[in-house]
């Protein structure tokens, strides 16, 4: 999502698509084939943009994820100290 924010801040219109909705081609795909397929879907208006919450909600989610990671790391350290 950081790349999305950087591109958006420079004035680009960025779409975030759900990968599950784009995996309709059978067989093995390369990155080039995947890019061409996504470009074709976008050209025909068949690529749905995923929901992206407002900036305030994204910042709050970032804080909550960071807190969750810190609590999990603290629990791991406590369990490590109790084990030894």
Per residue, the 3-state secondary structure of 30-65, as one string, reads CHHHHHHHHHHHHHCCCCCCCCCCCHHHHHHHHHHH
Residues 6+ apart with CB under 8 A from 52: 16, 58
Q: Are 44 and 58 members of one domain?
A: no
Number of C-beta neighbours around residue 80 at 10 A: 9
**What is the residue range of 41's domain?**
1-52
Model pTM score: 0.57
Return the pLDDT at 45.
85
> How confident is the model at residue 27, as a pLDDT?
63
pLDDT of residue 24: 65
Number of domains in the chain: 2
Same domain, 62 and 27: no
Weakly modelled stretches of the chain, pLDDT under 50? none
Same domain, 45 and 60: no
């Amino acid at each position: 999502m950081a790349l999305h924010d950087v591109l958006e801040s420079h004035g680009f219109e960025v779409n975030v698509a759900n990968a599950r909705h784009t995996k309709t081609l059978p067989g093995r795909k390369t990155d080039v084939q995947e890019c061409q397929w996504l470009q074709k879907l976008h050209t025909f208006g068949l690529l749905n943009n995923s929901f992206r919450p407002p900036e305030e909600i994204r910042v709050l989610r970032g804080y909550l994820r960071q807190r969750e990671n810190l609590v999990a790391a603290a629990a791991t350290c406590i369990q490590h100290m109790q084990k030894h």
